[in-house]
Chains A and B, each alone.
Chain A
Amino acid sequence: MRRPSILLTLILFLPWGCASLDPQPFQSFEQGAEKLSQSLTDVEALVVDETKQRELGEVTADPALLTGLRLEFGDPAFVWSYPAAGDGGGLLFPTLERRRRAAQELNAAFVDYAQLLTQLVAAGETTQAQVDQQAGEINSEARSLIDRLGADVPSDVTAFLSTAVVEGFKAFTDHRRREVLRATLAEQQPVVETFAQMGQTLTEDLANDLQAEYLTSFRQLQTSLVAAAPEARQPIVQQVLALNDQIGKNLDLLAQLHETYGSLPRAHAALGRSLESGRPTLAEIEQFVADATHLVTLYENLKQAPAPTSGTTTATTPATTPGTTTGG
């Protein structure tokens, strides 16, 4: 569950041993995670809609495939998901939906974790009860993510925040000792790297899906082009060029998202280093500002990305055998 970003306006100077902490690196980490969340959702929505429309025809032709669309429910009762791939009756849309929701939960866990860190270093008090509550929500999101991704999660990953890390954050709230927070962040670092890797893997899988959808659309246009009279071919070729532009831009955006996921562990490690030196270096602050600016630009580019068009407006969709697709 999301909470509004915390706006910091004052920094209180505390005695040595619980010295003042610059919130800027933590705010930058939080802003980066929030922008990532919306960006990935926008991109994945495009692929899912394309696949959904194509597979709608397959289910219409073969009602036996409908079992692949029956939702599954979990505990608590409001937990729902599409079935696992093996139960999907050959449909790809349910798998993409599960992957999309996994990415949303991954980003939610990163955003909430970043907000927890920002709260910890902010002026004012964070109670141990608040740390427990927020850690519980973060780990709930991570459990849901692990369930959705299933086998693609390392077997030793069971939670985003271990008991030791939560206790470390709670101990920090007592005396605000810089060394306690630094050590806790260091312990959390491998987990951040693992979950960031999951994000990169999701973008790679999504890129493969885009390529497969592209070949399907390209082949439909190819078939139309060959069948069309010479004077009617130019619009079809223009559709091919438009398709290339769309896929190319989406793949470029996925590449940037892949890189952004990779930057989160570096940003997280920099938080710990900022605590070692007593204050973050100017270079580290400038780097965080640059990273946040880059993510804002990425988000703006995604909002301007062209909406997907169908593979063709004139092509005749090749007849398909139920349970199979033509052209991938």
Chain B
Amino acid sequence: MAPDGGNGGNGLAGDEKRKLLQEALRTQGKLIDSELQLELQAQGAGIDPAQKQAIEDQLSQVREQIDRLSATINTLRARISEEWTGEAEDLIPQLKDANERIQDRIREIDRTAATAQKVSQILELAVSVVGLVESVLP
């Protein structure tokens, strides 16, 4: 139960992990919104089979990303107070920069008019967030 050495998850490192968690939760919210849009599109009348298949494919990708992001969010929640390795400490400046870029990206996506493009952009963001969370977990 006692700390086993290292700089710990307190202070700057802990704050950046928490900010990353908040950004991951925001991204997951956007994915859930995308899932709803695609599900309703798939139910729409007058869609030809090719369009429906494309929607189903994108829906499958969104669901996969939701599951992956959920898993990384839960792991990050559980480990938010754990020790960081020396190597992970070096990630702090990159994390700060990444958190700001994620915020900017979400705002930019919200301004995008086309739904199809928005879903693709949210998927790209989710992939990058999952990668970022996995990189900071001990």
Binding site for B on A (CB under 8 A): 72, 74, 81, 84-86, 88, 90-92, 95, 99, 147-155, 201, 204-205, 208-209, 211-212, 215-216, 218-219, 222, 226, 321, 323-328
Among A155, A321, A328, the one with the most B-chain Cβ atoms within 10 Å of its Cβ is A328
**CB-CB < 8 A to A219: which residues of B?**
32, 35, 66
- Quick check: is B83 within 8 A (CB to CB) of the other chain? yes
Knowing A147-B2, A215-B28, A215-B32, say if A328 contacts B8 (CB, 8 Å).
Answer: no
Query: Per a CB cutoff under 8 Å, which of A85, A153, A323 touches B8?
Result: A153
Q: Which residues of A contact B9 (CB under 8 A)?
A: 150-152
Min CB–CB distance A157 → chain B (angstroms) = 9
- Main SS of the interface on chain A? helix
Known interface pairs A81-B1, A208-B25; A150-B83 also in contact (CB < 8 Å): yes
Contact A208 B70 (CB under 8 A): no
B contacts, CB < 8 Å to A: 1-3, 6, 8-11, 14, 18, 21-22, 25, 28-29, 32, 35-36, 39-40, 43, 66-67, 69-71, 73-75, 77-84, 138
Q: Is the CB of A95 within 8 A of B3?
A: no
User: Whole-angstrom distance from the CB of B122 to the nearest CB of chain A?
Assistant: 14
Question: Given contacts A150-B1, A328-B28, are A212 and B81 in contact (CB under 8 A)?
Answer: no
Q: CA A219 – CA B70 in complex, angstroms?
A: 12
The answer, among A90, A154, A218, for a CB contact under 8 Å with B74, is A90
Query: Across the interface, do A151 and B70 meet the contact criterion of CB distance under 8 Å?
Result: no
Q: Which residue of A lies closest to B6 (CB)?
A: A151
Complex Cα gap A155–B84 (Å): 13
Q: A323 vs B29: C-alpha distance in the bound complex, in angstroms? A: 21
Closest Cβ of chain B to A51, distance in Å, is 10
Nearest 7 pairs between A and B by C-beta? A151-B8, A85-B78, A328-B70, A152-B81, A151-B9, A151-B83, A95-B78
Closest to B36 in A: A222
Q: Which residues of B contact A99 (CB under 8 A)?
A: 81
User: Contacts A147-B1, A147-B2 known; A209 to B77 CB distance under 8 Å?
Assistant: yes
Asked if residues B77 and A327 are in contact (CB atoms below 8 Å), the reply is: no
CA distance A86 to B67 in the complex (A): 20
Closest to A205 in B: B80
Q: For the A-B complex with A205-B81, A328-B69 known, give 17 more contacts whose Cβ atoms are closer than 8 Å.
A: A84-B82, A86-B138, A88-B78, A148-B1, A150-B2, A151-B6, A151-B83, A152-B10, A153-B10, A208-B80, A222-B32, A222-B36, A226-B39, A226-B40, A324-B67, A325-B71, A328-B70
